[in-house]
Amino acid sequence: MTNTLAFIGGLGGPEIAVIFIIVLLLFGAKKIPELARGLGKSMGEFKRARDDFEDEIKMAEMEVSNEAEEAQVTTKEAPHKEEASEPS
């Protein structure tokens, strides 16, 4: 699993503090909680959509493997059925 802060690169404490001060000046102290809340909601929605997509892929894989197993079983049973139906 990759580090979630890898995109920050070589940013240290002072650089992050300067960025935070700039954001505070641009948006104001009242807007920052709203922005953080909106970001959190969008990240949650993205995570939910990603999980749903992964579930759909897993279900499709299971259906394909089940169909392949059923086809394999029916092809193995087919010669036995022909032998049983032929009169002796």
Give the tens place of pLDDT for each residue, 38-76. 999 999 999 999 999 999 999 999 999 998 888 887 777
Residue 16 within any structural domain of the chain:
no
Share of the chain above pLDDT 70, in %: 76
Residue 40 within any structural domain of the chain:
yes
Residue 64 within any structural domain of the chain:
yes
Quote the domain boundaries for residue 43: 29-77
Residue 41 within any structural domain of the chain:
yes
Find out whether 32 and 24 touch, Cβ atoms under 8 Å: yes
Number of domain units in the chain: 1
Residue 44 within any structural domain of the chain:
yes
pTM of the model: 0.50
Average pLDDT, the chain: 81
For residues 17-44, give the mean pLDDT. 88
Residue 17 within any structural domain of the chain:
no
> Could you give the CA distance from residue 46 to residue 32 in angstroms, rounded to a whole number?
21
